Chains A and B, each alone.
Chain A
Amino acid sequence: MTKNNDLNRRQILERMSLVMGGAVSLTVLSACDGGVSVPTKEEVENGIPLKALNQAQLDLIGDMADTIIPDTETPGAKSVNVHYLIDELAVNWMKASEKTIFLGKLTALDERIKVEHGKSFSELDMAGRGAVLDQLGAEMIAEGEAADGEEQNIYRELRELILFGYYTSEVGASEELLYDPIPGDFKGCVPYSEIGKAWSA
C-alpha cells in the first residue's frame, strides 16, 4: 500500500467515524483491506502462476501496456501489473467461451508480429513497437464501430482492458487521475484550473 492509499483510508475512516459516533466498525476496516488478487512486485519477481495467459501472451500484453501507458512521473500500466489483472479478468470476468477466443487471438497477434516484424513485440525497440501500434491502430479505426464477441478487434479489446485496468488501479485512479472517496459536496460548475486533472470516478 502506498502513502496515498493510506491517506484515503484515513480520510474514509475519519469521516466514517464522524457518522458512526466514533465507533469505526471492523466491517469498515476489512472493507478497506479487501482487494483484487493482483500480485505485488515481490510476487512478480519471484514468479507467480498464471491463470489464463501463457508467458508469450503475458509478455505481449505487458509490453503493449508499457508502450501505450508508459512510466512518466507516475508509474505506467505495466508497472501496476495491468497484464496480471488481465490474466485475472480472463478467468473471472470473461465467459469461458470468450476467454478461449481471446487467447486464440492473442497468439495469432503474437505470431503475426513475429512474421511481419521479425521479432516478438517485446523484442522490438521503441521505434519497432511504435510501428506495430500505428499499424494496429490504423486497422482498428478502419474497422469502425467496435463489434462484440468473435468479431471484436483484438487491439481494441486489449486497449480497453489496458486502459480500464490502469485507470481503476490505485496509481492510475488516485495518482495519475483524481479520486475522492467521499467528496462531501457537489459543485456543478468549477473552473477547471482549480481541479487540474480528470476525476477517475
Chain B
Amino acid sequence: MAEEFDAIVVGSGISGGWAAKEFTEKGMKTLLIDRGRHVEHKEDYPTENKAPWELPNRGRMSKDEQDKDYEIQKLAFLGESNKHFFVKDTEHPYDQPEDKFSTWIRGYHLGGRSIMWGKQTYRWSEMDFNSNKEDGYGVDWPIRYDDISPWYDHVEKFAGISGSKEGISNLPDGVFQPPMDMTCVEKAMKPKIEEAFPDRHFIMARVAHLTEPTEEQSELGREKCQFRNECQRGCSFGAYFSSQSATLPAAERTGNLTIVTDAIGHSVTYDALSGKATGVRVIDANTKVGREYTAKVVFLCASTIGSTQIMLNSISETFQNGIANGSGALGHYLMDHIYQAGAEGRMPGFEDVYYSGRRPGGIYIPRFRNLNGDKQEGFLRGYGYQGGASRRSWSSGVDDAGYGAEFKQKNQGPGDWWFSMTGFGEMLPRYENHISVDHDNLDQWGVPMLTISAEFSENEKNLQKDIAEEGERILKAAGLVDVRSWANDAQVGLCIHEMGTARMGRDPKTSVLNGHNQAHEVSNLFVTDGACMTSTACQNPSLTYMALTARAVDYAVTQMKAGTL
C-alpha cells in the first residue's frame, strides 16, 4: 500500500478538516489521519433527537462513572448525552505538577472537537496582531490583519457565520448570515448599557450556525439552524459548522481524499540529507503496531497540545529535542483564555413576554479594556463577555417549599427573567507554561507520556477580578437587580482554548513557525492549529485557525507547484 500522497494532514478537527478541504480542492492527493474512531455524519449521533425522558437517567450521568473514568473531562460539559465524544482520562492520562492543575478537555474521533465546540466565531483585529509588539510580552506576530483578512472572508463564506455588522474597530465585521434574535430583555438592556458606557457594545454573538444557507452549503446537505440547542449531540441538519457537516464532505467530493482513522500520530519522520520531513509515523490504535505514511508535505492539525506532542516525539540526529526545535521554544508559551468569572442578575417585569425556540449562543460584549484611551493599572490587554437572558423554569420551585395543585399551576408558567454572562480574558505568553514528553515513560501505545505544566499569573487574575467588578456595573446600569458576580479559581485548559507551544514568529531563534505556519527549519512541515498562536487575544480562536489553515495550504500548494517545496 505504498500510495503516494501530496499531503498528510494529522488530525480532523476544525483545522485538519480545513486543511483537507483546501488541499483536495486544489487537486492534491491528501491523506487525513485521526487517532480516534470514525464518526459518520448523521449515523453516529446516538443521542440526537432523544427527548429528556428518553435519555438514561434523564441525562444525569453516573457520578461514580465520572469520578472513575472522567476525572478531568467531567469538569467541562460532560453528560449522558455527549460522553461518547469525550476521552476517558483513564485511557488517555497525562502528568502534571501537583501544584499546577490544568485541564485538557478533548475527544478522540473523526471530526475531533468540531463536534462539541462552542461555535462562537470572531475575527481578530489589527490590535490583536500588534499586542505582543506593543507591550513586549511574547514575540511579535509575523502577520498583520491585512494578511489574514481575505482568508477570514474565505472561511466565513464557506463555514457560514451568523452575526450582525457593527463597525467596531477591534472586532472587524465579516461575511455574515442574518444574526439570531435577541430576547426582549436583551433588547431592553442594549441601549441602557451602550448609553451608560459609550465605549461598550452589546451585540448578538457571532456563531457558526446557518441562518440562511448559501447554495454551496445546501449542495453539501446543510440546512438552516433548527434551534434545538442540542448541538453537542451532533446535528444531522448540518446546521452548525463541523468537519462532518462541512469540510469533510467538501473534501470527499473531490475524489482526492483518503481518511484513515484509529491511527495515532506518533512522530514526523525526517530525512537529514534533504532537510525535509518524509511523512508521519502512526500507531494503530487497535493493534498497537506502528507504520509510516509518506508525502510531500505534512500539516499538523492534531490540536495545540497534540501537534506539539508529535513534534516533541520526533527525535533525530538533527533535532534531538523535537523536530524544528532549534529555537527551544517548542512546547513553551502554552496559553488558554481565563474564564470562570462573570455576573448575573434578575430583570424585573417583562412577565408578559417570552420566546420560542432554543437559541445556541447569546449576546457578546467585545473588549473595551486597554483600548480607545482606557488604560488599566492592574493588567494588560482585555476580555469580552458572552451571555444571555432567559426565564427561569420549574427549578425555582425546588426552594420555595410550595406543594399541591396551586404549586403545580404556578410551575406551569415561566419564572423571572435572569441574565447571566461570563468573561473570556486574554492570557499572556510565558515561557514557564509548557508541555514536555518523557521518552522513558510510554503510554499503552508506546507514545512518550505527556506533562502539562501551566498556571495563570497576576495579570490574568487581576483581569479576572475586573471581569466580575465591571460585570456587576454593566448589569446594574442595564436595570438588573439582585446582581451578583464571581471570580473563581481558574485552571489553564478549562476554557478549552489552548494555544501556543509551536508559536509563529519572525525570528527562527525564538519561534517555531514563520508567517505561513511553516516550520522555520523544516520547509515542508506546517502547523496550523492552536499550537501556532503567538498570543491569544480574547476572542474565541477557532475562526482564526480556519483562516490560517486555508492561507497556509494556499501558500504550500503555490510553493509545491513552483517546485520549491
Chain A residues close to B by CB (< 8 Å): 5, 8, 12, 15-16, 19-20, 25, 27-28, 31-32, 34-36, 67-70, 72, 76, 85, 88-89, 92-96, 98, 130, 133, 136-138, 140-141, 146, 156, 159-160, 163-165, 167-170, 173-174, 176-177, 179-193, 195, 197-201
Contact = CB atoms under 8 A, between A and B. Distances in A.
Contacts of B184: 188-189
A95 B236 contact: no
B53 A36 contact: yes
Given A138-B401, A189-B353, A198-B411, A12 B236 contact: no
Q: How large is the interface on B (under 10, 10 to 19, 20 to 34, 35 or more residues)?
A: 35 or more
Interface string B179-207: 01111101100000000000000000000
A69 B407 contact: yes
B357 A184 contact: yes
B353 A192 contact: yes
A160 B398 contact: yes
12 contacts: A19-B237, A31-B47, A69-B403, A69-B407, A140-B401, A179-B51, A186-B227, A189-B182, A189-B184, A192-B352, A199-B393, A200-B52
B414 A34 contact: no
B394 interface: yes
Interface in B156-194: 180-184, 186-187
A164 B401 CA distance: 15
Interface of B: 42-43, 45-64, 67, 180-184, 186-187, 221, 223, 225-228, 236-238, 351-359, 391, 393-395, 397-399, 401-405, 407-409, 411-415
Given A93-B60, A146-B399, 8 more contacts: A27-B42, A31-B54, A85-B58, A92-B57, A140-B401, A156-B398, A182-B226, A189-B187
Nearest to A12: B49
Contacts of A167: 393-394, 411
Nearest to A193: B352
Contact of A192 (B227, B412, B414): B414
Contacts of A141: 399, 401
Given A146-B399, A198-B413, A31 B49 contact: yes
B58 to A, nearest CB: 4
B60 to A, nearest CB: 4
B57 A201 contact: no
Contacts of B63: 93-95, 98
Contacts of A5: 51
B53 A35 contact: yes
B412 A89 contact: no
Enumerate the 7 nearest inter-chain pairs by beta-carbon distance, A residue then B residue, closest first: A137-B401, A186-B357, A188-B181, A183-B357, A189-B184, A168-B52, A198-B414
Nearest to A126: B404
A68 B181 CA distance: 37
Contacts of B56: 36, 92
A96 B62 CA distance: 10
A173 B397 contact: no
A37 to B, nearest CB: 8
A185 B399 CA distance: 33
Contacts of B187: 188-189
Contacts of A160: 398
B49 A181 contact: yes
Contact of B404 (A68, A92, A188): A68
Of the listed residues A180, A183, A200, the one surrounded by the most CB atoms of chain B closer than 10 A to its CB is A183
A186 B401 CA distance: 33
A188 B187 CA distance: 9
